[in-house]
Amino acid sequence: MFIVPFVVRLFGCGEVIVDIIVCIKQIYDLGQITVDTATKHPITEGAARKISDFDKNALEEAVRIKEKHGGNVFALIGGTKEAAKEALAMGTDEAFIYSADTDSLGTATILAGIIHKIKYDLILCGEASIDEFSFQIGPRLAEALGIPVLTYARKMELKDTEIIVERNLENRYEVAKARLPALVTVTKEINEPRIPTLLQILGASKKRITEISLEKPEAGVENLSITAIEMKRKEVILNDIEELAKIIMSEKS
Amino acid sequence: MIFTFSEDYETALEILAKGREIADSLRLELAAISIGKHDDIEDTYIFCGADKVYSIDSELHADIVVDCLCSLINQYKPELLLIGGTRLGKEVAPRIAQKFGVGCATDCVDFSLEKGEFIVKRFVLGGRFIATQRFLRKPQIVTVPPRRFGKKLDTARTGKIIKTTLKPAQSRVQVLEKKDKTSQMLRIEEADIIVSGGRGFKKKEDLKLVESLAKVLGGAVGCSRSVAADLKWLPEEHWVGLSGHKVKPKLYIAIGISGQVQHIAGIRDSKTIIAINNDPNAPIFKSCDYGIVGDLYEIVPKLTEILQ
Ligand SMILES: Cc1cc2nc3c(=O)[nH]c(=O)nc-3n(C[C@H](O)[C@H](O)[C@H](O)COP(=O)(O)OP(=O)(O)OC[C@H]3O[C@@H](n4cnc5c(N)ncnc54)[C@H](O)[C@@H]3O)c2cc1C
Ligand SMILES: Nc1ncnc2c1ncn2[C@@H]1O[C@H](COP(=O)(O)O)[C@@H](O)[C@H]1O
């Protein structure tokens, strides 16, 4: 009974079946965050929450690999059931949710702790979360798990027991490969995430969401403050092009 | 000791200048790490601020950089690492931080010392907010965006070049192919004047209007993410904003750009911002010095003609 899938996995028709974990962060819709006029601190009350943009690309890519090769997609979500439901509707098989308010060191440590207990071949992350935009978790997690990391993927392909990606670097694209298990961080350009159908949304309610509770891990940095950046601009509206040209000439020199 | 590393030559010199300031205030030694195959850049590192240069002759790859830097950290126990915030830098910095179980702050735009403690600032929440952070453990690891700080050259400076015999472990990632991005490398961060186009342009050919205006003003062409990433009308080096290039020209002209927070995050340090947009309620008018409401197809050709 147990031997069959194992054999299929290794030798089955040149096909590979992989189990993929996608790391997802639920964030506040940045456009809905307001500023406290007195303290200049962000106010998140009332702001809608959503899955961070590039994490949707990671999820989409995982589901496409599953559709092509088989296997399972697990979502590991820093966030609520709402995010889990959205991930499940997009094609995730099972979701794990947790919440912890910590920094990149803490988050990577938590994720590594959970992932240690799951069987996987491939882990996908977004290149960055759009609120923190720190590009840290993917590389940190790979390091914590001791697996190779391929960052900034704009294309990826599974071949036997290897993952081949095209990376988007400053001056060039680089095609690189690593042996599974490996971690890949994806860019926005890798795909266009699907919008689940009503049927898929309804179907998602039958899938399993596991809540994980954790102790707060140690952090490496501490926020002393987060304050709105004030733009002091003149905001002068001009009426004619001549006037605009004059201003450009004087600003130019 | 303070370590600096960047595989990008210019960035390496910029972070040395910043590193020198911090090293002087804290009375620490400043060491530049040079990894790769290149001739005689070590002297310049010393002229730009390094007391020591540890030079490692090796292939340049993330796995190797992590391995080399970790060995040197174990050996010399630096307090602080300044790493150039290129894509390679932003991969290796958090990896090293995770190995040592410490924090890391990427894309730091400001540094200060308060009572001898190292304080950094970075943009968060779409670039509308700035976070002030401190480290809870050492080594403290930061990445610094390219072109954020100036370099300082003093050819009278002296220092020591140490060729290390480190033998880094083999990379687990194998590079199969490198495809250079075709366009001539534009360094939009260095432009004094930038004229940028957004989705207000109806077709790719219409961007000629941006080009001619930029040409008349002797400036560079920029664009919003929509134009570079979604429509692919211009290559990425023109892309301005939070996820593109952060620019600080004397004059920034935004044409047919709505002015979403992520675009503004990239132009915040411009001296003067001018906006041309046909929607009087476009958010760009709240983030500009001078604005004109109207059809770009009418305004831009006329403006270019007058300026000519
Ligand atoms: C994580 C993340 C990172 C991002 N990073 C960036 C980034 O780095 N850079 C960036 O630019 N964006 C970025 N964005 C996208 C950003 O939110 C906006 O979607 C984008 O900037 C919009 O581009 P635009 O202004 O060209 O297009 P639009 O928002 O569609 O604006 C077009 C404007 O043109 C005007 N217009 C239309 N016709 C005319 C006409 N005939 N004459 C004059 N005006 C006209 C319209 O009134 C409108 O204001 C990011 C988004 C996310 C989520
Ligand atoms: N709290 C979290 N829970 C799960 N995944 C996360 C979390 N934070 C970040 N990630 C993943 O790590 C990527 C990079 O995030 P960051 O390092 O914050 O820019 C994101 O795109 C996610 O894939």
Contact of A138 with A149, CB cutoff 8 Å: yes
Q: Do A174 and B175 touch (CB under 8 A)?
A: yes
- Residues A77/A97, Cβ–Cβ less than 8 Å: yes
How high is the pLDDT of residue A8? 39
> How many whole angstroms separate alpha carbon A37 and alpha carbon A16?
56
The neighbouring-strand residues paired with B204 are none
Q: Do A133 and B107 touch (CB under 8 A)?
A: yes
Highest mean pLDDT among A6-15, B4-13, B242-251: B4-13
State how far the Cα of A136 lies from the Cα of A96, in Å rounded to an integer: 21
Which ligand is nearest the CA of B226, by number? 1
- Residue B185's pLDDT band (cuts 50, 70, 90): low
Burial class (CB within 10 angstroms; exposed 0-12, middle 13-18, buried 19+) of A64: middle
d(CA A108, CA A169): 24
Enclosing H/E stretch for B63: helix B62-76
pLDDT of residue A4: 38
For chain A, residues with pLDDT lower than 50 are: 1-14
Q: Distance (Å, rounded) from C-alpha A77 to C-alpha A111?
A: 9
Name the token pair of A10: 């290794």
What is the model's pLDDT at position A10?
44
pLDDT at B215 over 50: yes
pLDDT of residue A92: 97
Query: In this structure, are residues A129 and A137 in contact, taking their beta carbons and an 8 Å threshold?
Result: yes
Residue B10 burial by CB count (10 A; 0-12/13-18/19+): exposed, middle or buried? Answer: middle
**Mean predicted lDDT score pLDDT of chain B:** 94
Q: What is the torsional sign of CA A23, B7, B183, B123? A: positive
Q: What residue spans of B84-204 are helical by DSSP H?
A: 87-100
Q: What is the mean pLDDT of residues B283-304?
A: 96
Q: Are A141 and A116 in contact (CB under 8 A)?
A: no
Cα-to-centroid distance, B112 and ligand 1 (Å): 34
In degrees, rounded to 5, the angle at the alpha carbon of residue A244 between the alpha carbons of residues A242 and A247 is 110
What pLDDT score does B182 carry?
66
B160, A152 Cβ separation under 8 angstroms: no
Nearest Cα of chain A lies from the Cα of B46 at a distance, in angstroms, of 26
Output the residue whose Cα is nearest ligand 1's atom 18.
Answer: B260
A53 Cβ closer than 6 Å to some ligand 2 atom: no
Q: Is the pLDDT of residue B174 over 70?
A: yes
- Residue whose entry in the numeric block shows the structure tokens 């935004």: B254
Q: How confident is the model at residue B294 (pLDDT cuts 50, 70, 90)?
A: very high
A107 Cβ below 6 A of ligand 2: yes
In this predicted model, what pLDDT tens digit does every residue of B66-84 receive, in sequence order?
A: 999 999 999 999 999 999 9
Higher pLDDT, B58 or B13: B13
A171 touches B: beta carbon within 8 Å:
yes
Q: Of the given ranges (A130-139, B19-28, B30-39), which has the lowest mean pLDDT?
A: B30-39
- Residue A11, pLDDT score: 42
Phi, psi of A125 (to 5 degrees): -130, 165
What is the β-pairing status of strands A94-98 and A208-211? parallel
The closest-lying atom of ligand 1 relative to the alpha carbon of residue B198 is: 26
Any chain B CB within 8 A of the CB of A173?
A: yes
Among residues B31, B35, B7, which one has the least CA distance to residue B20? Answer: B31
| Per-residue confidence (pLDDT) for residue A14, from 0 to 100 | 47
* Contact check, Cβ <8 Å, A221/B104: yes
Given pLDDT bands bounded at 50, 70 and 90, which one contains residue B147? confident
Of B93, B253, B273, nearest to A233 by CB-CB distance is B273
Alpha-carbon dihedral sign for residues B257, B260, B263, B269: positive
Mutation for A interface: B292, B297, B298, B303, most A CBs within 10 A: B292
Q: Which one of A51, A60, A137 would you pick to mutate in the ligand 2 pocket, going by the greatest count of ligand atoms within 8 A of its CB?
A: A137
What is the pLDDT, as a whole number, of residue A13? 44
Whole-complex ipTM: 0.89
Report the residue from B63, B104, B287 with minimal CB separation from A233: B287
Smallest-distance ligand from the CA of A187:
2
Percent of chain B predicted with pLDDT > 90: 83
Helix (H) or strand (E) holding A173: strand A172-179
Which residue CA neighbors atom 19 of ligand 2 most closely? A128
